[in-house]
Structure 1
Amino acid sequence: MTDYHNIIDQFRADMAAAGMVVKEPIVADSVLHRVYVDGDKSGTQNGAYILHANQHPAGYFEHFPQGLKVTWRLDGAGDKPLSLAMRRQIEEERKRRQVERKERQNETAEKARWIWQNAKPVFDEAKHPYLRRKSVKAYGLRTSRGALVVPFFDDTRQLVNLQFIDVDGNKRFMAGGRKKGCFSLIGEPAGAERVLICEGWATGASLHEALGALVMVAGDAGNLEPVAIAARRWHPNAEIIVAGDNDESGVGQTAAKKAALAVRGKYLIPEQTGADWNDVIAAGGSL
C-alpha cells in the first residue's frame, strides 16, 4: 500500500502543477475542504478539494476563479471512480458556489446602481485626459473620484456592473459583479438595423461616431461571443459586425472571428498589428 504521506505529497504536487498552490495542510479524510489558494485575495477560500487515501487513492480539486476542475487518481491506482459520497459532496459544493456567486453578483449590482446614480455626468470631454487622448465624446459616461464610469447591462437591460477607467487608461470592473454576456451601449437600440460589437469603450465611441450605428461594448475579447449572442437575440434581423482588435498575440482576431461565426455575422480587423479601431479612426482612417 502506498505511504500516506506520499499520497499527500503527490496530490499537492499535482494541484500545483495545474496552477493551484495550496500551502496549508492537506487532509485525506474523504470530506470536501475549502482552502485558500496562493495568489488569491487574502481571506478568500476559492479552492476546494476532496482526498481519499484508502486502497485506491483518489480525489478532486477545483479552483473557482480559474474554472479549474480536476478529478485525481494516484499514479498506478487504476481507474476506480470516485465514491458516490464524494461525488455528492462535489455537486453540493458546486451548488453552494453558484448560490454564493449569485448573491455576490446581486450585491455588486446594487452597489453599482448606487455609484452610478451618485456619479457626475461628463459635460466637457476636453477636461478628462482619457477622453481627450482618445479623441472621443463621453456619450453619457459619468465620473467618480476622477475615473470615468462605464455602465454595463445584462440582457434584460438592468445595470449590473461598472467599469472604471482612470486618467492613464487603466481599467477595472467591480469585483464580484457579472461580466459575461454584459455590455455597455452607445447609440439607440430601438430599430437598429446594424449592430457593431467591440472590446473597449473608446473603440465603441469611435465606431459610433464614424458610422452612427448601435455599438455594444463587451469589455474584453473573451466577452465578444456572449455579447454577440445577446445582440442576435435582441436584433434577429440586424447586420452584426464584430470589430475586433489586431493583437500581437492573435487573441483579439480569433475572438472576433469566433463571435461573428456564432451569430452569422461579419468581422473587421485593423490592418496594423497592435491597433484597434479607435487607433485607426483617430488617425484619420476608416472602416
Structure 2
Amino acid sequence: MSNEQLKHKTYLAVGYDDRAQAQQEIGRLNNGVAAISFDGEQGLWYAKAGTDKRKVEPWLPDPNMMKQNSDIDPLLEFNHVLETAGFLLEEPPMMDGQIHRVATQDDKRGQKSGVYAVFNDGHPVGWYQDHRNHNEPQKWHASFEQADPTARLHQKAHMANIRYLREQSLNQKQQHHAKRCAQLYRQLPTANSGQGYLNRKGVQAYPGVCQDKKGRLVIPLYDTEQNIHSLQRISPNGFKCLKKGAQKSGHFFVVGDRPLNANEPILYAEGYSTAASIAEATGRSVVMTVDAGNMPKVAEKISAKYPNARHLFLADNDHKNQINKGVQKARESANLVGGHWLTPKFSTEQIQHGLTDFNDLQISSSVVRVKKQIEGYIERCWPELKYQKPERLQPPLNSITPVSSTLKAITTQQQETVIEQVKTPEAELKTKPDNPTQPPKSNPKQPEQETSKMPMPKHLYMRYTSANGKSYFPNRNSAALAFIDKGNKLQTRLEHSKIILDLLAIAEHRGWQQIKLKGSQNFKREAWLQAKIKGMEVTGYKPQPLDYQRLTQQGINIDKQSHQTQAVKPQAQPTTSPPKQQATTQAKSQSALERFKQRFTPQNSIAKSRFAPSKEAHYEHQLER
C-alpha cells in the first residue's frame, strides 16, 4: 500500500540551519526531482505536491509553537483602526476572513464605500479600504511580535499555507464564475439602442453589448485572448454592478467597431458611456477598464500584448473628491507603460456643475469638441500620427471550401440580411390571369394610384435624405449610409434598433404583412421582435425562449407552437376566415401596434452610422418584398 502523498504545495517550518537535514530526510519524488524547494518571495521552504506526507510531518508548522505575547486584544485594535479611517461600524468587525462592506463618514444614505477583511489564523492580519480615499487596500496586522525566532518561523509558514489555500480556492471559484458568465452572455440578445441608460448618456450600443430581460445592459469583461471572466450590468437608471465572485482585475471591454491596432494609439477610459463618447467622436476603439483602480492592471496586460503600441489614458477628472483617483491612476498607468494621459477641459461654469469626464463634455458641448481635444492631443504627442479617419472594417465574407481536392473551390457571396415579403395565396391567385394565352387586363387607374403613393411614411422624410431615391442617409450626417431601397427589397448593414424600426415602418406602409428575414442573428432577432409587436408575420428566423420572454414583456403572448404554424409555407388553396375571426385578429394587431407606439416613440434622428462603404452591393441587411 502506497504512503499518503501531499495533494498541494505546502510550506514548511525549516530554518536556515536545518535545510540540509530537511532535504536529506524528505528526499526526492518518484520522478527523481527534489521534493522540497525554496520560495524566495515568501522566504520559506515548501514541499511539492506528491511528496510523502509521512516524511514531511516533522517539518510542518506546529500551532502549539505559535503563542501570542501581548495584552492587546486584536479585535479591539482593528476596530480602532477602522474607526480612525472613518468607517461607521454598527458592530465589532468580523474576523472570519470574508469581505464585509460598511458605510463611511463621506457616504450618502445607503452607500457603503468601506470594505475590510480580517483573518484570525494564529496571528491576526487583514486589510481595509475606503474606495473614496484609498487607492489600494491598506494592510493591517496585530501589533504584537514573537520574541522566539522558532515561533515566528512556524507562524510564518502557517500563514503562508493559509494564504496559498485561500488563493487556490479563490481561483477555482473565479474559473467557475467565468464559465457561467460566458454561458450566460452567449444567450443574450443585442442591446436595444433605445435603452434608458444609452438614451440618457447620448451614446449607442456598440458591438458586443447585450441586454438582459430586465432591460439592463450586459457588458463582457475579457482578457487579451478574448476569454470572458466577468459581466457588468448597467440598469436604465445608471446603477452598475459586477458579477459577484467573478474576477474584474486586469480585464476589460473594447468599445468600438474595430479591434485594437498596435499601429494606432490605444485609448483607455473608465466607464462605458465615456468610452462610447470617445469612440463616437474619434472613430477609434477604446478600452473600457470599468474603473480607475483597474486601469493600471489593464494597461500592463495590453502593453504585454502590444509591446510597441502607444497608449493614451483619458481620465475622469474627479476634482470634487479629496483624492483625484481618476487623474492619479491615469498618471500611474501612463508611467507604467510609457504613455500619456489627458483629462477633458471644461469651463469654470461646467466645473461648478460637477462635470468630470468626456461623456459630460459631449452632452454639455458637442462630439466635435471631444474630438478636437483628443485628436489635437494625439497630434501633439505623436506628430507622425496626424489624424486620419480610421478605415472601417467590412464584415468578413462567408466562404465554403471543397472537402475533396477534385472539387472546385466555392466561395459564398457576402452575407446579406433580407426581410422578404411572402406572397399569400390570395395574392398569387390575383396575379394569375384567367386566360394564360392572353395578357391580363390593365387597369388605367392603378398606375396613377401607385405613382401617387409615397414609398415610405411621411415622418421618415424628416430623418433621411436621398439624391437618387434609392440610397438614404441620415439628415444630420450625409456621409453615413443608413439603408438602400430597391422597391421590393430594403438593405442595410446596420443592426441599430432605430434603423430596424424604420425599415419595418416602410414595410408596413407598403402593406407587407408577411416578411422574410435573412442575415446576421442580431439583426434577425431584433427585426423579429419588432415585427411581432407590429402584428406582422415573420419567417427566416427561429426565435429562442428568451425572445418569447422579451415579447411577453411587451404585452404580446405567443406560444412556440403557434409561431411554428405561422412559419409554414401557405397552401395553394386560399382559405377565408369568418368575419368574427378576422375582426378579432385585426383588433389584436391594432392593440399590439398601439402598445408598440406607446413604448417606442420614433426619434427625430438616428445614431451615426459606423460604416460608410462605397458600393451598394456590400450592404448586409435587407428588406425584400
TM-score interval (norm. to shorter): 0.7 to 0.9
| Structure 2 unpaired stretches of 5+ | 1-68, 84-88, 103-115, 130-135, 374-625
8 Å contact from structure 2 (residues 188, 210) kept in 1: yes
2:219 corresponds to which letter in structure 1? V
Cα offset, 1:239, TM superposition = 2.1
1:17 and 1:167 mapped to 2: Cα distance? 40
1:142 aligned residue: 210
1:55 aligned residue: none
Is 222-231 or 80-89 further displaced after alignment?
A: 80-89
User: Alignment identity in percent?
Assistant: 25
Cα offset, 1:72, TM superposition = 2.5
Name the larger-Rg structure.
Answer: 2
1:93 and 1:38 mapped to 2: Cα distance? 19
Inter-CA distance 137–226: structure 2 relative to 1 (3 Å threshold): same
Inter-CA distance 215–278: structure 2 relative to 1 (3 Å threshold): same
1:206 and 1:94 mapped to 2: Cα distance? 42
1:72 aligned residue: 142
Partner deviation per Cα, 1:115-140 (whole Å, 9 max, x = no partner): 21111112x41x21110111111002
Give the match's secondary structure for 1:18: helix
Output aligned runs, 1:152-163, within 5 Å.
Answer: 152-163=221-232
Inter-CA distance 8–48: structure 2 relative to 1 (3 Å threshold): farther
Cα offset, 1:262, TM superposition = 1.0
Query: What CA RMSD, in Å, does the superposition of the two structures yield over aligned residues?
Result: 3.0
8 Å contact from structure 2 (residues 173, 245) kept in 1: yes
Aligned length: 261
2:254 and 2:327 mapped to 1: Cα distance? 22
1:265 aligned residue: 339
For the pair 1:85 / 2:163, whether they are aligned, the reply is no
Give the match's secondary structure for 1:177: coil
2:238 aligned residue: 169
Output aligned runs, 1:1-287, within 5 Å.
Answer: 10-19=73-82, 23=92, 34=96, 39=101, 47-51=118-122, 59-63=123-127, 67=137, 69-74=139-144, 83-122=152-191, 124-125=192-193, 127-140=194-207, 141-144=209-212, 145-187=214-256, 188-192=258-262, 193-247=264-318, 248-249=320-321, 250-272=324-346, 273=351, 274-282=355-363, 283-284=365-366, 285-286=369-370, 287=373
2:310 and 2:99 mapped to 1: Cα distance? 45
Cα offset, 1:80, TM superposition = 5.4
2:93 and 2:285 mapped to 1: Cα distance? 51
8 Å contact from structure 1 (residues 260, 267) kept in 2: yes
8 Å contact from structure 1 (residues 15, 61) kept in 2: no
1:219 and 1:155 mapped to 2: Cα distance? 15
2:358 and 2:316 mapped to 1: Cα distance? 7
Partner deviation per Cα, 1:183-227 (whole Å, 9 max, x = no partner): 001232253412100100111111111111121100001011111
1:78 and 1:115 mapped to 2: Cα distance? 50
**Structure-1-length-normalised TM-score:** 0.80
Inter-CA distance 9–38: structure 2 relative to 1 (3 Å threshold): farther
The runs of 4+ residues in structure 1 deviating greater than 4 Å are 6-9, 20-25, 33-40, 63-69, 77-82
Cα offset, 1:147, TM superposition = 0.5
Give the match's secondary structure for 1:267: strand
Give the match's secondary structure for 2:73: helix
8 Å contact from structure 1 (residues 199, 217) kept in 2: yes
1:16 and 1:37 mapped to 2: Cα distance? 15
1:17 corresponds to which letter in structure 2? H
Inter-CA distance 139–50: structure 2 relative to 1 (3 Å threshold): same
Give the match's secondary structure for 2:332: helix
Inter-CA distance 202–263: structure 2 relative to 1 (3 Å threshold): same
Cα offset, 1:102, TM superposition = 0.4
Is 267-276 or 127-136 further displaced after alignment?
A: 267-276
Cα offset, 1:110, TM superposition = 1.1
Give the match's secondary structure for 1:172: strand
1:255 and 1:178 mapped to 2: Cα distance? 20
Partner deviation per Cα, 1:226-255 (whole Å, 9 max, x = no partner): 111222222222221100001122111111
1:211 and 1:223 mapped to 2: Cα distance? 23
8 Å contact from structure 2 (residues 97, 117) kept in 1: yes
